[in-house]
């Protein structure tokens, strides 16, 4: 706009020496230039639809590579589901509720005593909201710092290189791009006959904003989100029952670690109804009445709760984008089909994160975003989905990377297993928080690490030593012969590695 104003002033200063036809042509040019700028129709090198972990990271990386970039986000607040109503607020509540639970049950054994403990739920929620708002503003600052144009609105395809955007202020604009990246994330998976009202029947979004602690909470789905949110409200006083259609909780987890994890959650008074499905919901009374039935069919039963959390998974969010209009191919579950460079079947259109196959995790989306932009810029990008760690942020946490023992067995590879319990770890014993184990799987002949599974306090931090080891093809002996500081939780990883290739010292 500054250039347009400069040109307008220059033309006016020269008006005495220009003909009327010259002045008319100059005026028309300036008007069209101004319209082009104000509607955002100048062509970008990269346009990203979605400002979540995948989208905003892709936009920043593109700008850092010298590409003119625009990021479009319909929420009006950057960070996507993860930052606004997912990973970040849930971790804030997990931490706060853990502090409350520790004060209620563990402080006295450490010599910390007080006369009265009180839960201030509004303050707890306020702390969570403050963390979210600070981080969203921080991301907006990062876009500005990297000169990424930020458009607040919902973008839909007009053509493979043009988007019509309905802005959050009620207006509209057009954004053009040589390359357009779809990074719109995922949405809550609905269940037939279960209508989410975010009051009695809530999604993870509603579970993060309850105004009081429900006496009885039912969680439908025993995955990451359900167990984490169940933990939050269980620590604060809810009777939590988890209803799961499958025969196991967290099906991606190593079965040995999973069984240990479930026993730990049950000791925390979380109840499980496995191989069970919800066939009916009645919200006409004070609370909620669920009609349950065995997964294989059979006699029905009624289960009553104050609040029901639907946590049965997530599905790609692509509704209203106009993918069918430009011919973008999707698979049978709605995920966008891409090649190893994240390109769809439509030239110039790419997709990353939850809308494509692979783990629906924020850190996976970030890696997708960087690699995709590197390919667009003519560089090489790479994401190995076998090296994406998973973490359940309960207490203790469970973190894992690589293959489970079941997967290694199925592959036919001969392997060794090394384990080390935190009951034998000096730091864990010193802080009286020693429930858990490290389990390492390695190929028998080469000793190459195949998978690492950790259940412990801060397992989500400990796992990255294992991620790096797998990424570079390390052996268990490599970890075992690496000096680890004492006393630390990470020594359990070293000891498990020693147990894998030889013998541990402390058991």
434-459 pLDDT tens trace:
999 999 999 999 999 999 999 999 99
Residue-wise pLDDT for 459-489, tens only, equals 999 999 999 999 999 999 999 999 999 999 9
DSSP string, 36-87: HHHHT-SEEEEEEE--SHHHHHHHHHHHHTT--EEEEETTSSTTHHHHHHSH
Is 15 a residue whose pLDDT tops 70?
no
3-state secondary structure (DSSP) of residue 194 = strand
Per the annotation, the verdict on 486 as an active-site residue is yes
Where b means 16+ CB within 10 Å and e means fewer, 384-394 reads eeeebbbbbbb
Is 189 a residue whose pLDDT tops 70?
yes
Burial class (CB in 10 A: 0-12, 13-18, 19+), 19: exposed
For 6, 11, 36, 243, 336, the CA distances from 22, given in Å and listed in that order, are 17, 10, 21, 76, 51
3-state secondary structure (DSSP) of residue 456 = strand
d(CA 361, CA 469): 21
Rg (CA), the chain: 27
State the pLDDT at residue 23. 39
What is the number of other CB atoms lying within 10 angstroms of the CB of residue 285? 9
d(CA 311, CA 248): 15
Of 396, 387, 388, 385, the C-alpha closest to 489 is 396
Is 391 a residue whose pLDDT tops 80?
yes
Between residues 196 and 14, the one the model is more confident about: 196
For 198, 216, 248, 266, the CA distances from 241, given in Å and listed in that order, are 19, 8, 14, 10
Contact 354, 362 (CB under 8 A): no
Range with lowest mean pLDDT among 72-76, 155-159, 189-193, 339-343 = 189-193
Choice among 110, 464, 486, 506 that is catalytic: 486
d(CA 329, CA 327): 6
Tell me how many degrees the CA angle 276-282-284 measures, rounded to the nearest 5. 160
State the pLDDT at residue 42. 76
Phi-psi category of residue 141: left, alpha or beta, with phi > 0 → left and psi -120 to 50 → alpha = alpha
Show the tokens assigned to 320: 């209203």
Is 16 a residue whose pLDDT tops 90?
no
d(CA 224, CA 378): 37
Mean pLDDT along residues 221-232: 98
| pLDDT tier at 193, thresholds 50, 70, 90 | confident
Q: Alpha helices of 243-349 — where are they, by DSSP H?
A: 255-267, 323-326
| pLDDT tier at 33, thresholds 50, 70, 90 | very low
Show the tokens assigned to 214: 């429900």
Between residues 389 and 34, the one the model is more confident about: 389
Name the average pLDDT for the chain: 93
| Contact partners, residue 15, CB within 8 Å, separation at least 6 | 23
Of 55, 16, 8, the C-alpha closest to 34 is 8
- Give, as one character, the DSSP assignment of residue 343: B
Mean pLDDT along residues 206-217: 98
The packing angle between helices 87-105 and 224-235, to 10°, is 40
Show the tokens assigned to 191: 């269940």
| pLDDT tier at 41, thresholds 50, 70, 90 | low
Is 29 a residue whose pLDDT tops 70?
no
| pLDDT tier at 31, thresholds 50, 70, 90 | very low
Is 332 a residue whose pLDDT tops 60?
yes
Mean pLDDT along residues 428-434: 97
- What spatial distance separates the first Cα and last Cα of the chain, rounded to whole Å? 71
Residue-wise pLDDT for 403-416, tens only, equals 999 999 999 999 99
């Amino acid at each position: 706009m500054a250039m347009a104003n400069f040109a307008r002033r220059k033309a006016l200063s020269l008006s005495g020496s220009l003909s009327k036809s010259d002045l008319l042509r100059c005026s028309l040019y300036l008007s069209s230039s101004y319209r082009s700028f104000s509607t955002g129709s100048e062509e970008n090198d990269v346009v990203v639809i979605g400002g979540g972990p995948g989208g905003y990271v892709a936009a920043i990386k593109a700008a850092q590579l010298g590409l003119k970039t625009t990021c479009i986000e319909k929420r009006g607040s950057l960070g996507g589901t993860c930052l606004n109503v997912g990973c970040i607020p849930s971790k804030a509540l997990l931490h706060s509720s853990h502090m409350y639970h520790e004060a209620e049950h563990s402080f006295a054994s450490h010599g910390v005593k007080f006369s009265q403990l009180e839960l201030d739920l509004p303050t707890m929620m306020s702390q969570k909201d403050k963390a979210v708002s600070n981080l969203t503003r921080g991301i907006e600052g990062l876009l500005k710092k990297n000169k990424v144009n930020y458009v607040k609105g919902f973008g839909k395809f007009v053509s493979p290189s043009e988007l019509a955007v309905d802005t959050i202020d009620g207006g509209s604009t057009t954004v053009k791009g040589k390359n357009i990246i779809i990074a719109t994330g995922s949405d809550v998976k609905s269940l037939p006959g279960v209508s989410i009202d975010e009051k009695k029947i809530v999604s993870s979004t509603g579970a993060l904003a309850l105004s009081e602690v429900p006496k009885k909470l039912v969680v439908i789905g025993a995955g990451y989100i359900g167990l984490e949110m169940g933990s939050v409200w269980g620590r604060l006083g809810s009777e939590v029952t988890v209803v799961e259609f499958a025969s196991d909780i967290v099906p991606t987890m190593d079965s040995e670690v999973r069984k240990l994890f479930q026993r730990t959650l049950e000791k925390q008074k979380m109840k499980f109804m496995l191989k069970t499905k919800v066939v009916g919901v009645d919200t006409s009374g004070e609370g909620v009445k669920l009609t349950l039935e065995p997964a294989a069919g059979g006699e029905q039963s009624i289960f009553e709760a104050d609040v029901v959390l639907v946590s049965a998974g997530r599905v790609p969010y692509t509704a209203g984008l106009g993918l069918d209009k430009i011919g973008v191919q999707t698979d049978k579950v709605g995920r966008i089909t891409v090649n190893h460079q994240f390109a769809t079947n439509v030239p110039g259109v790419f997709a990353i994160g939850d809308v494509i196959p692979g783990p629906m995790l924020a850190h996976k989306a970030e890696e997708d975003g960087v690699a995709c932009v590197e390919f667009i810029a003519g560089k090489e990008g790479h994401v190995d989905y076998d090296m994406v760690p998973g973490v359940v942020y309960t207490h203790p946490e469970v973190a894992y990377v690589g293959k489970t023992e079941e997967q290694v067995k199925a592959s036919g590879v001969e392997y060794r297993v090394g384990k080390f319990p935190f009951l034998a770890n000096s730091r864990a014993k010193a802080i009286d928080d020693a429930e858990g184990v490290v389990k390492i799987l390695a190929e028998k002949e080469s000793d190459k690490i195949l998978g690492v599974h950790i259940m412990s306090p801060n397992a989500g931090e400990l796992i990255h030593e294992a991620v790096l080891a797998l990424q570079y093809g390390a052996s268990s002996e490599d970890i075992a012969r690496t000096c680890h500081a004492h006393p630390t939780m990470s020594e359990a990883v070293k000891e498990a590695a020693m147990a894998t290739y030889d013998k541990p010292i402390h058991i």
